[in-house]
Structure 1
Amino acid sequence: MPLTTTAAQMVADARARIEEVETKDLIAQLGDPDLVIVDIRDIRERQRSGAIPGSVHAPRGMIEFWVDPDSPYHKPVFDQPGKRYVFHCASGWRSALTVATLQDMGFAAAHLREGYSTWADQGGPVAPHEPKG
């Protein structure tokens, strides 16, 4: 059975209605105490290529539950009034879909348009993955 909507079309539809942040602009905002950068990549991606220093790791499969204050999986990092949340994945596809879904839930967020793929090339600092003990 052919698909009625492709993944690429879903990403394009999401991007048409969410805020996208350019890599250079997010790099310039590092250190802003009101900024929360959320990395939704798989843990193995973080292990291979590092992470944006200070970013919060929230696996894509759990994000709706971590954001929802009524969920038993809710994480307080997502309940900080006045904070600006910017989500990212590797290339901007998963984060676009994530932010569109969160927007549908009433959670304000943006995403890194090109994802982590251009971060280091554009001068963004990279922290090695440090497993939690």
Structure 2
Amino acid sequence: MKKVADMVTEARARIEEWDVARLMATPDAVVVDIRDVRERAKGFIPGSVHAPRGMLEFWWDPDSPYHREVFAGPGPYVLHCAMGWRSALAAATLTDMGFEVAHLDGGFEAWTAADGAVEMPKPRD
């Protein structure tokens, strides 16, 4: 049986990884938050696009009936999750599909540890 840690290590070896400093220095990057809605409700990187991991392939593929126009642009696209494991696997999947993406090493935890800005969701009526 293959361990998830091994899968993450393999993915990280073949994808582009950005650190927080690079992301902060690249204001035109499209930050894609792949965490679930419960995680995002606790705060998110300002301006990030929410795309739950389970929908990524469908939202990214221009031939999919679920395609989202935000993923048709030039990027650069940087995926993140909480710690960087899920985003590494997701970036590997999108890379396999032919898309140019990177992932944020350390995820949202690294962002907040570096005092990155955090936005809270607006309350619902």
Q: TM-score, normalised by structure 1?
A: 0.89
2: distance between equivalents of 1:38 and 1:52? 9
Of 76, 86, 93, which aligns to 2:69? Answer: 76
Worse-superposed segment, 51-60 or 118-127: 118-127
Which 5+ residue runs of structure 1 have no aligned equivalent? none
1:8 aligns with 2:8: no
Report % sequence identity. Answer: 58
1:24 and 2:35 are equivalent in the alignment: no
Number of residue-to-residue matches in the alignment: 125
Distance of 1:130 and 1:92 partners within structure 2: 26
Query: 1:27, CA displacement in angstroms?
Result: 1.7
Over the aligned positions, Cα root-mean-square deviation in angstroms equals 1.4
Report what 1:97 is aligned to.
89
1:57 correspondence with 2:47? no
Per the TM alignment, residue 52 of structure 1 is displaced from its structure 2 partner at its CA by: 0.4
TM-superposed CA distance for 1:131, in Å, is 6.2
Match of 1:41 in 2: 35
Aligned-partner Cα distance in 1 for 2:118–2:60:
26
Question: Gaps spanning 5+ residues in structure 2: where?
Answer: none
- Of residues 117-126 and 5-14 in structure 1, the stretch that sits farther from structure 2 once superposed is 117-126
Aligned-residue offset at 1:28: 2.2
Alignment partners' CA distance in 2, 1:68 and 1:130: 29
Q: How far does the alpha carbon of each residue in 1:77-122 deviate from its partner, in whole angstroms, 9 at most, with x for none?
A: 0001x32000000000000000000000001000001000121221
So what's the TM-score if we normalise by structure 2?
Answer: 0.94
CA distance in 2 between partners of 1:84 and 1:90 (Å): 20
Equivalent residue number for residue 67 of structure 1: 60
Task: State how far apart, in whole Å, the 1-side matches of 2:124 and 2:60 are.
Answer: 21
